[in-house]
Chains A and B, each alone.
Chain A
Amino acid sequence: MEGTTADMEKMKHSSTESAPKELFVLAQQKEDTSEKISGPSRTFFQDARRTFFKNKFAVLSVILLIIIIIMSFVGPTMNDHGIDDQDLARAKMPARVPVLENLPIPGFEGVLRDEFKGSNVEEATNNAYSRYDNQKDFIDIEVLSEGDGSKNSAEVRATYRVYEAKGMEDEYFWLGTDSLGRDQWTRLWEGTKVSLLIAFIAALISLVIGVAYGGIAGYYGGKVDDVLMRILEVLVGIPSLVVILLMMLVLDPGITSIVIALTITGWTGMARIVRGEVMKLKNQEFVLAARTLGQSNKRIIIKHLLPNISGIIIINTMFTIPDAIFFEAFLSFIGLGITPPQASLGTLINTGFDNIMLYPYMLWFPAIMISVIMIAFNLIGDGLRDAFDPKMHK
């Protein structure tokens, strides 16, 4: 203890010397400010919004999605090609965009380009010619390796100026054309519109049914809850994939059928979540207090329950939408969804796969589109989940 004591003695003396006598009087009691809340007060939703807008990825996703939605309406009108303007003479044209075609970025110059092999340069060149319609005048050959006569030792890179070869120097298909000569730009935006439409409608219907079902079960509880939950258990036991496939077989293919097939199973998740939340909330003090004060069921539901579960409903919906987009694409891909000449992202990707080896751009554009949309929705969903989580509010 000696050390500490000595230290303290020292401290005592040094401080005494520098402490002016006149300050040793009781201080004036000031208004106590320690209970003041620093910072402005915000409602929960203001906090949630603030947290959400701080999430750069989520905000970027929202902006991207808004652009995509606007473009899905505006895009098809930006050129004069219709969604089903077939013309085999201009089938499988590569993408060509004004301005971009003159820049050294591959992909939008309106040419087909590939490497060809042969035992010598001549053979390789001939392979290229036969591949590109024998339009020798419009094919540029660049020799990559001379070869020594053995099999596939020579390699040339051939660039086929398709637009010139077909006498369409003034045409621009921004994203190229498909195997029936239809403009991909137009079809891509139309397809995006259809896919988004299906997803939004399906998500909305699932939301309404799910919230109503789960809300009733949770709020009334008891026998009502028992019966509703038994039914739900049976429905949940049936794999939704099976139900969707069966429904698609029975119904005529089209937007309505896909929406029906998706909603018939899609609402159960929402119903379970809403029921759980309502069950939890209705026994909490503020609801009990409202009831004690004689508020009607309707008022309690609207004023107290809905605002508190709205966060979880919005989050859940944000994850239903990409699910629906995926299922639409999946169904169209396996031939059970949207049928030609209508386009959706699924049918476009399906067509793309048929041509993946020679015209991969037919796959890349719709594939990029669906990926961007899915990632954006998931990031927004994640952002909202954080935003509605009080722990994340800083």
Chain B
Amino acid sequence: MVRYVLRRVVYMLITLFIIATLSFFLMKMLPGSPLNAEDKLSEEQKQIVLEKYGLNDPVPVQYVNYLAGLVKGDLGISFAFSNTPVTDILMDRIGPSAQLGAQALVVGTILGVLLGLIAAVFHNGFLDYTSTIIAVIGTSIPNFVFAGILQYFFASELQWFPVALWGDFKHTVLPTMALMIFPMATAARFVRTEMVEVMGSNYIKTARAKGIGEVGIVFKHGLRNALIPLITVIGPMAVSLMTGSMVIEQIFAIPGIGEQFVNSVIMNDYPTIMGTTLLFAALFVAIILIIDLLYGLIDPRIRIGGNNS
């Protein structure tokens, strides 16, 4: 088990190293520097700025310095906000993004599981069709379209929630709803399919033959078996939360990482873009690892490194 985890962590570091290298050289191919065309700087002043960013060194040296910085958690200094390390910018902004992401994931998954469960229990009934329609719409319609609908009706027209910006809990409601649509719909579809299959399986028949009541059948025998594979779709959900954070934070003007990323793109702030990219990559790779380990822990059939054949 320990060896397996170690091997996976090494793979993960290699992946991150490839991404870091790739993004470093790609960024080097791009025009653009901390120098602003509008600032009228003398040649001397320009040299000082370039020196500060280490841009006068040959590219291989810059690369080594960059990697060395990464190990220490140093992502370089922002072009746009001079003197501000990228790490600080990201740390500043991770709070709102993490809160929204967590809220959306938790609420969305719980609602999705409920929807899927209801659909499966009332298989081919009215509730099943309703929940299936919600799920199809939720997986199909882009979350920024949802954000628009929510913002227009619940903020602009009904004025139940603030239109945008970050503040108290009320500010998180609409962006969370927009973000949670995809996890909810995905979970609903997944749980419905799994649950219908599980409820038709032989061990459910065995449980019924034992005289277990319907509630016990659905929750004790059915749901547990239907939920385990749900872990596998956390990956796509995480991706949707990351892309979602970029557009949703932009739409609701939330000072999170996604909004920062979009602004950095507009301002050609390459160190920040790279830092954010690496952060997303690290998060994604870590989530995949956690999913695999979790799956092994929860599903007795594939306990990693277990002593069974």
Chain A interface residues (CB < 8 Å from chain B): 234, 237-242, 245-246, 249-250, 322, 326, 329-330, 333-336, 349, 352-353, 356-357, 360, 363, 367, 370-371, 374-375, 377-379, 382
Contact = CB atoms under 8 A, between A and B. Distances in A.
B10 to A, nearest CB: 12
B70 interface: no
A313 B293 CA distance: 30
B256 to A, nearest CB: 13
Contacts of A370: 141-142, 145
A239 B152 contact: no
Nearest to A375: B140
A170 to B, nearest CB: 31
Contacts of B6: none
B201 interface: no
A349 B234 CA distance: 28
B247 A356 contact: no
B247 A334 contact: yes
B247 A237 contact: no
B227 to A, nearest CB: 23
A246 B140 contact: no
B293 to A, nearest CB: 16
Nearest to B235: A239
B136 A242 contact: no
Nearest to B278: A242
A349 B145 contact: yes
A246 B243 CA distance: 14
B142 A241 contact: no
10 contacts: A234-B18, A237-B12, A237-B288, A240-B239, A249-B265, A357-B152, A370-B141, A374-B140, A375-B140, A378-B139
B113 interface: no
Contacts of A374: 140-142
Contacts of A240: 239
Given A246-B23, A333-B247, A239 B141 contact: no
Contact of A242 (B19, B27, B152, B266): B19
B280 A239 contact: yes
Given A242-B277, A335-B262, 17 more contacts: A237-B12, A237-B15, A239-B280, A246-B23, A249-B265, A250-B29, A329-B142, A330-B243, A330-B247, A334-B246, A334-B247, A334-B250, A353-B144, A371-B137, A371-B140, A378-B136, A378-B139
Contacts of B22: 246
B30 interface: yes
B142 A330 contact: yes
B277 A367 contact: no
B239 A249 contact: no
A342 B245 CA distance: 26
B134 interface: no
Secondary structure at the A interface, as helix, strand, loop or mixed, is helix
A71 B120 CA distance: 39
Given A330-B247, A334-B250, A349-B145, A237 B140 contact: no
A52 B309 CA distance: 43
Contacts of A333: 144, 247, 250
A322 B140 contact: yes
Nearest to A233: B11
Interface of B: 11-12, 14-15, 18-19, 22-23, 26-27, 29-30, 136-137, 139-142, 144-145, 148-149, 151-152, 156, 163, 239, 242-243, 246-247, 250-251, 261-262, 265-266, 273, 277, 280-281, 284-285, 288
Nearest to A336: B265
A385 to B, nearest CB: 11
Nearest to B258: A334
Nearest to B239: A241
Contacts of B141: 370-371, 374-375
Those 5 A-B pairs whose CB atoms lie nearest each other, nearest first: A239-B284, A374-B140, A237-B15, A375-B140, A367-B145
Nearest to B277: A242
Nearest to B285: A237
Nearest to B145: A367
B156 A356 contact: yes
Given A238-B19, A246-B22, A371-B145, A335 B265 contact: yes
Contacts of A322: 140
B156 A357 contact: yes
Contacts of A360: 152
A238 B281 contact: yes
A246 B270 CA distance: 11
Given A250-B26, A356-B156, A375 B137 contact: yes
Contacts of A237: 11-12, 15, 285, 288
Contacts of A241: 239, 242-243, 280, 284
Given A374-B142, A375-B140, A356 B11 contact: no
A249 B271 CA distance: 13
Contact of B277 (A246, A326, A334): A246
A379 B135 CA distance: 11
A356 B142 contact: no
A285 B148 CA distance: 55
